[in-house]
Amino acid sequence: MSEKKQQKVKIWDAVPGYDFIKEIDIAEMPSWFQDGTHSIPPVTPMFGYQWARYCGHGLKFACTELSIPTCKGWEIRILNGGIYCAFHIVRDRKEIAEREGKFRQALRPWIEGFDSLWAGYKQELLSIYTKLLELDVDNATNLQLYYHNYDLMHAYMRMWEIHFMAMYSSFNTWLLLEAMTKERFGISDQDPEFQDMMRGFNNKVYQMDKKLWEFGQLAIEMNLEDTFKENKPQSILGKLQQSEKGKEWFKKFMDYMKTDDVGGWRMRRFTDLNEPYWLEDPATPIGLVKDNIMRGISYDLEATRAEIAKRREAAIAAFLSRVPQEEKDLFEGIIRLSGKASSYSEEHDLYCELFVHALMRRGYLAMGRRLTEQGTIDTPDDIFMMNPDEIDRVMMIPESHDMRWITRRRKAAWKETHKNSNPLVITNRASIEEAIKLDLLPSGDAIAIKIIVGEMPQPKPELKADLWGICGCSGEAEGIARVVIMYEDLKKVQPGDILVCPSTNPTWTPVFGLVRGVITDTGGTLCHAAIIGREYGVPTIVNTQQSTSKIKTGQRVKMDAANGAIYILDK
Amino acid sequence: MSSDKLIFWFEELGQEHNNLVGKKCANLGEMTRMGLPVPPGFAISIAVYRKFAEETGGAEEASRYVSSLGELKGQNVAIFDELSQNIRGVIEGKEVPEDIKRLVGSYYEEMGNKTGIPDVAVSVRSSGTESRPGMFETYLNVVGIEDLIDKIKKVWGSAYTSRAIAFRVNKDIPVIGDELGVAVSKMVKARSAGIAFTVNPVTGDTSKIIIDANWGIGEGVVSGAENVDRFVVDKEAFTILDTYIGKKAKQVITEKRGAYWDDVPLEKQSIPCMSNDEIVAVAKLAILLEERLGEPQDMEWAIDPESIPPNNVFLLQTRPAKVAAKKPESVTDRMIDLITKRFYSP
């Protein structure tokens, strides 16, 4: 009895209000699915709390505003640093019909003018961010920091609202195209024929990649090539300061980081606050410039992109030639809009998560420094062991409070979570399959099905593969496996490796130019790894569930991405 | 069928009797034969009007009068009002011959026996051989043989409403024309009623059924004057795709006799005037009609508070739907439709 009680206190303590508590949460929603894309490595209490609260809100907001007929939104809880989702499925047919009528109306403006709506929302977000940046966090009063906590949360809330409005409205088209091409022409979204139609779009991710490539070219022109080639990213910074040319290059680089609308407000790690953003630690983007220089001048990003875009138009034309005349307009409309879904999926992170997380890190670290000065917590980043309500309680008079008993215990617990992996599904249904059938699929939720949980791999026994996944980008590859769990370890990846990781996000993008293939544990055909794999033409297999635990760094592996098959050659 | 028969029960009629009893009666007959929920009733053939017009001398009188006026086309519209008043005066001024009265009376009495309601309330509608929506008069909640005879005469006279005369003149149809049959149906004292289109009359979209409805009897919708409820139903899935609840301030109700506009009680103004089950029942009825008749329909229906669901929805009349312009659906419409149907219809 007493043991059980202790257990309760412990789990309740990590993210108060959003801790997963089996007795309560399973009674409310029978199945909880791990969001593998965003849960590995385990999230900090601060991040888990904010994510559960506001990402959850954004999903409910979009499902309500768009009146998604079969899903009212998601519930999010945190268990041992892992994010779990359950879906408010609408099961009553009358209610579905009523929601459907409104859904048709709400969807229309997005279908008619996705680009201009998204452009307007981007502007709204950027103006919210500009306002947050007006606060000089280092010289702010305690009261100003107290308010800043709420301003950050408001910004986070709005970001998720916009994020999911655009995401729900664009992904539906992708799903429609997938369903129609499969049904009518036998082409799945894992087929190259399909994926070629969705590649080579010009968006912010590409523009920034190109800019970094240009800075590499500039460094070469300015005779700084060796500084980049011979040093590690961290020491390149110091070396640059030793020459006039170096200083000049660095100033230009930092001007871009500060003046571009996104620039250096970009987190290195996608789903947490505990790693620096580019402006805070320019070694990260400088490392990317270095990678570009190492690849040599023959690597021409622009030409690669143009080639993929050309191939895309050819693929679309070839596909449309198979479509009956009276349906050409319809299919072309769906293909164009699906392309936007793919492009939005890639670009939105820069304006949504990566940017606002950088601002949250900036603000909360400043609060952390203030609390550390007063002995409330041990170190500034212990702030990530607290939640906003606790910050509210101590921010005005930090000298009177001691939160170390909380932050120390949570930090220890959080570190502990790195040692264990969380279950994929927590359910009181008879099996995982039944949980998926009853509590996930009826939601009709494109985001849950295509990104978070993903489709289950369909093994083909005759191929005798060791692991199975979903094809993100077709192609065959063979190479040395490099298992990367944390972003810090990404620098160990060697050219020609096959990257094996839990999932990827936009900060990982440049590594796709380096590797022969990518294998992830989680995700679906619209996850980051799949989209970027297609953009870079790198064979990619996603949602393998267990690659990071079954494959060891150094093993030779072979990928047959079109079939989702992975072979471990050195056993 | 014997050529001297003048009045018919609906169940004795079908489409083939168009020229005998007029379109509406022939249709009601067809509907009854198909087993559709049409209120019971009888049809007074066009021959009865001719008999009346000849025997009373009304036909000749009207003819003489019209001839005296000369060419009407291009004349001031005021002439149609005058013409209407005079001709209707001639017709309504004649006494209906006794044998016709007796014949109608016998059917009316039989209807009272069949329904178990003596002096059963009926609707009295025009039934010409050509469809002329909105041209002629309809009389509702008619009670007793005297009233019935009077209203039959008025329906006959309504072949000469100013709008009907103007229509014939402009279409080069003789002014003396549109001899009318009369449909006498048991009155459905509806709780809610309205119309249903199996095609969108504006866009030509044939994938949905559009239902307009109001409290009270159908005239509260047909007149088009009031803010009403609108429901859009998917033809295949029978899901309600769209619901618009109008602020229904006025309704047409029936009491002892006749029908009149009345205020809708405040608490009923902004709530739907029919349940989702009733909406679906009306939609299913409309589809059945479209399938049986082979073309999109524009029908009138009513919900009878005295009948037990699901048998409380009555078909009052139906005709081929007129579509303004057949516009192809936009790519956006088709995409929305495909997304909704594929992913969000359980």
Which residue, of A279, A310, A341, is where some domain finishes?
A310
A347, A351, A348, A382: which is closest to A364 by C-alpha?
A382
Residue A415 domain-assigned?
no
**Residues within 8 A of A (CB atoms), B 70-89 only:** none
Residue A171 shares a structural domain with residue A238: no
Show residues of chain A in contact with B328, CB under 8 Å: none
The verdict on A137 and A283 lying in the same domain is no
Q: Which residues of A touch B276 (CB under 8 A)?
A: 94, 97
Asked if residue A410 belongs to a domain, the reply is no
A104, containing H or E segment: helix A93-133
Q: Does one domain contain both A121 and A148?
A: yes
pLDDT above 90: residue B75: no
A94 with B276: Cβ contact below 8 A: yes
Domain-located, residue A50:
yes
Does the structure show a pLDDT above 80 at B72?
no
Q: In this complex, do A101 and B240 lie within 8 Å of one another by their Cβ atoms?
A: yes
Choose the weakest-confidence range: A242-251, B146-155, B336-345: B336-345
Give contacts of A175 with chain B, Cβ < 8 Å.
Answer: 339, 342-343
pLDDT tens, per residue, chain A with 571 residues: 344 444 444 445 778 889 999 989 999 999 999 887 777 788 999 999 999 999 999 999 999 999 999 999 999 999 999 999 999 999 998 899 889 989 999 999 999 889 899 999 999 999 999 999 999 999 999 999 999 999 999 999 999 999 999 999 888 888 889 888 988 888 887 788 888 898 888 889 888 988 998 999 999 999 999 999 999 888 999 999 999 999 999 999 999 999 999 999 999 888 899 999 999 999 989 998 998 888 775 667 778 888 888 999 999 999 999 888 878 889 999 998 898 888 888 899 999 999 999 999 999 999 999 999 999 999 999 999 999 999 999 999 999 999 999 999 999 999 988 887 788 889 999 988 899 889 998 888 878 877 666 677 878 888 899 999 988 888 899 999 999 887 778 878 888 899 998 888 766 777 887 899 999 987 777 777 887 887 777 899 998 878 888 899 999 999 999 899 999 998 7
pLDDT at residue number A4:
47
Highest mean pLDDT among A226-230, A380-384, B163-167, B208-212: A380-384
Judge: B331–A176 Cβ closer than 8 Å, yes or no: no
Residue A318 lies in a domain: no
**Average pLDDT of the residues of chain B:** 86
Domain range spanning residue A563? 461-568
Choose among B242, B337, B339: nearest Cβ to A172: B339
Q: State residue A7's pLDDT score.
A: 46
**Residues A121 and A78 occupy one common structural domain:** no
Global ipTM: 0.80
CB contact (8 A) between residue A93 and residue B338: no
Region B186-194 average pLDDT: 92
Is residue A108, in this structure, part of any structural domain at all?
Answer: no
Residue of B nearest to A109 (CA): B332
Yes or no, beta carbons of B344 and A444 under 8 Å apart? yes
pLDDT band at B74 (very low <50, low <70, confident <90, very high): low
pLDDT for position B224:
59
B336 lies within 8 A of chain A by CB: yes
3-state secondary structure labels for all residues of chain B: CCCCCCEEEHHHCCHHHHHHHCHHHHHHHHHHHCCCCCCCEEEECHHHHHHHHHHHCHHHHHHHHHHHHCCCCCCCCHHHHHHHHHHHHHHHHCCCCHHHHHHHHHHHHHHHHHHCCCCCCEEEEEECCCCCCCCCCEEEEECCHHHHHHHHHHHHHHHHCHHHHHHHHHCCCCCCCCCCEEEEEECCCCCEEEEEECCCCCCCCCCEEEEEEEEECCHHHHCCCCCCEEEEEECCCCCEEEEECCCCCEEEEECCCCEEEEECCHHHHCCCCCCHHHHHHHHHHHHHHHHHHCCCEEEEEEECCCCCCCCCEEEEEEEECCCCCCCCCCHHHHHHHHHHHHHHCC
Q: Residue A506: its pLDDT value, please?
A: 66
Cα A241 to Cα A1, A238, A252, A298: the distances in Å are 64, 5, 13, 28
Q: Do A70 and B240 touch (CB under 8 A)?
A: no
**Same-domain status, A291 and A193:** no
CB-nearest partner of B344 from A100, A108, A337:
A100
Q: Which residue of B has its CA nearest to A104?
A: B336
- Residue of chain B whose Cα is closest to the Cα of A100: B241
d(Cα A222, Cα A252) in Å, to the nearest integer? 12
A178 and A234 within one domain: no
In the structure, what pLDDT confidence band is assigned to residue B278 with cuts at 50, 70 and 90?
very high
Distance from CA of B281 to the nearest CA of A (A): 14
**Please, what are the domains in chain B?**
7-186 (3.30.1490.20), 192-344 (3.30.470.20)
- CA-nearest residue to A334 within chain B is B335
**Residue of B241, B331, B335 lying closest to A97 (CB–CB):** B241
Q: Does residue A250 lie in a domain region?
A: yes
Q: Tell whether A479 and A448 lie within a shared domain.
A: no
Q: Measured between CB atoms, which of B240, B336, B343 is closest to A97?
A: B240
Model pLDDT, residue B324 = 58
Q: Residue A33 forms beta bridges with which residues?
A: A85, A425
Q: Which of B230, B245, B344 should we substitute to test contact with A (largest number of A Cβ atoms within 10 Å)? A: B344
Average pLDDT over every residue of B195-210: 82
Residues A342 and A487 grouped into a single domain: no
Q: Are residues A563 and A522 in the same domain?
A: yes
Exposed, middle or buried: residue B224 (CB in 10 Å: 0-12, 13-18, 19+)?
exposed
Which residues 275-294 of B have a C-beta within 8 angstroms of A? 276
Which among A98, A103, A446 is the nearest to B340, CB-wise? A103
Same-domain pairing of A234 and A272 = yes
Same domain, A445 and A521: no
Chain-centroid distance, C-alpha A265: 16
pLDDT of residue A2: 41
Same domain, A36 and A81: yes
Judge: A100–B335 Cβ closer than 8 Å, yes or no. Answer: no
Measured between beta carbons, which residues in chain A are less than 8 angstroms from residue B342? 175-176, 179
Of A94, A96, A337, the CB nearest to B344: A96
Region of poorest pLDDT, from A169-178, B215-224, B265-274: B215-224
Min Cα separation A101/chain B (Å): 4
pLDDT at res. A46: 97
Asked if B335 has any chain A CB less than 8 Å from its own CB, the reply is yes
Q: How does residue B252 score in pLDDT terms, banded at 50, 70 and 90?
A: confident
Taking contacts as CB-CB distances below 8 angstroms, the residues of chain A near B346 are 70, 91, 93, 96, 442
- Per the structure, the count of domains in chain A is 4
- Whether residue A104 lies inside any domain: the answer is no
pLDDT for A491: 78
Interface size A-B, in CB pairs within 8 Å, comes to: 77
Among the partner-chain residues B243, B334, B343, the one whose CB lies closest to the CB of A175 is B343
Chain B residue numbers touching A179 (CB-CB < 8 A)? 342
